[in-house]
Copies of this chain bind each other. A is one copy, B any other.
Amino acid sequence: MQALKRLELTLTGNPGPAQAAKAGTRPGGRSARVRTDVVAATLSELTEKGYDQLTVDAICHRAGVHKATVYRRWGGVDGLIADALALSADQPWPIPDTGSVDEDIQLLAREVYDTFTDPDLRTTPTALIGAALRSDLGASALSAFFTARHRQAAEVVTRAVAHGQLPAHVDPVELVRAATAPLYHRLFITGEPLDERAAHRAAAAALLAARAGLFDATTP
């Protein structure tokens, strides 16, 4: 989840070339600059003021861009959130590789815990995910974001299967999801605080279930 924070830094730091360009469009310097500036401004405003106080005017003022431009390209606040998530999903992600699956999975859950309990790190991802849940467009982007994230992290499991540390037919994505899902559930559905035990428990339970054959991809 720390990539969300890194995204903000990246965007505010250097403009850089366009990440993705559509066909027939103009990928040149200005459009790309506007995009990064606006998305960065969105994340900053979101982090500082929260979703409820988030206003397109403030974003435009901070990014030095006109209101109509934002509404034309993004359609509104929800589009901005979705785009921010889309950019985050493209970011590369460090995956633990300690040699032990158990440790790797624990570290995966642990990273989520660390991110969302650190007062400095938590603000942006918390606000961003919370904001994404507030619209259908954002929810779709969030779904895509997690799909990409889980796909990346699943490497931990496939590696372990290859090394014989886990049963052959275990579904990698399902295991990763099981190890982190309880944390997100607490954070955004039931609104309970996160503690270290919850992170450890989630990872341990996921591994237990995997070894019991509950995540077998083959059996219906």
Residues of A within 8 A of B (CB): 52, 130, 133-136, 139-140, 142-143, 146-147, 177-178, 181-182, 184-185, 188-192, 197, 201, 204-206, 208-209, 212, 214-215, 220
Contacts and interface: CB of A to CB of B under 8 A. Distances in A.
A181 B178 contact: no
Q: Chain A binding site: helix, strand, loop or mixed by DSSP?
A: helix
A177 B206 CA distance: 15
B204 A177 contact: no
B201 A215 contact: yes
A68 B194 CA distance: 40
Contacts of A142: 189-191
Contact of A135 (B134, B146, B177, B185): B134
Nearest to A139: B191
A178 B186 CA distance: 11
B214 A204 contact: yes
Please name the 7 residue pairs, one residue from A and one from B, whose CB atoms are nearest each other, closest first: A143-B191, A205-B209, A133-B133, A134-B134, A181-B185, A146-B190, A185-B185
A191 B192 CA distance: 21
A92 to B, nearest CB: 21
A206 B181 CA distance: 13
A208 B139 CA distance: 32
A19 B136 CA distance: 33
A156 B220 CA distance: 28
A184 B178 contact: no
Q: Which of A185, A192, A220 has the most CB of B within 10 A?
A: A185
Q: Which of A139, A146, A147, A189 has the most CB of B within 10 A?
A: A189
